[in-house]
Amino acid sequence: MVKTISAFGRIGEENAFAVLARATALAAQGRDIINLGIGQPDFRTPDHIVEAAIKALRDGHHGYTPATGILPLREAVARRTLTTTGIEVSPDNIAIVPGGKVTMFAAIMMFGEPGAEILYPDPGFPIYRSMIEFTGAKPVPVPIREENGFAFSADET
């Protein structure tokens, strides 16, 4: 018989999907719902993005990209980081990934261990806290507020 490892039981739920199902059901009943459960946009993809995607496919840009993302995008992120934070980062130290959960998971797994404390955004996805607890580290919620642009504030950590 195949058994999962005991650590598997320490992983919490991804409650965002339960919230999505409930919000969808309420919307189907005609209720006016602002769904903050899963981060799914409630608007169409802008036409210029759709057209750029179509052009990229027609130009042969399909298939896998480099694991860290295409270089022009990493260079653009490096420029933006310098402009917005004053910190110079090499494109070689930038990875483009599909969403924030991937980066949170990697960081939590790299630094999480018993005795460590890991800050996470609150409100945020419930899985962040679950993954921190999975590693044995102590989850420390940090409030994100509208008045500071929904970003971490060093004064609140």
Which residues are CB-contacts of 28 (< 8 A; sequence separation ≥ 6)? Answer: none
Per residue in 125-151, pLDDT (tens digit) is 878 888 899 899 999 999 888 887 887
Q: Is residue 128 assigned to a domain?
A: no
Query: What ranges in 1-157 are assigned the alpha helix state H?
Result: 16-28, 47-58, 71-85, 100-111, 126-135
Task: Encode pLDDT of 22-48 as tens digits.
Answer: 888 999 999 998 776 666 777 899 999
Question: What residue numbers bound the domain in which 47 lies?
Answer: 12-63
Q: pLDDT per residue over 67-97, tens digit each?
A: 999 999 999 999 999 999 999 999 999 999 8
41 within domain boundaries? yes
Residue 46 within any structural domain of the chain:
yes
Within-domain flag for 34 = yes
Number of domains in the chain: 1
pLDDT band at 117 (very low <50, low <70, confident <90, very high): very high
For residue 92, give the 3-state DSSP assignment: helix
Residue 47 domain flag:
yes
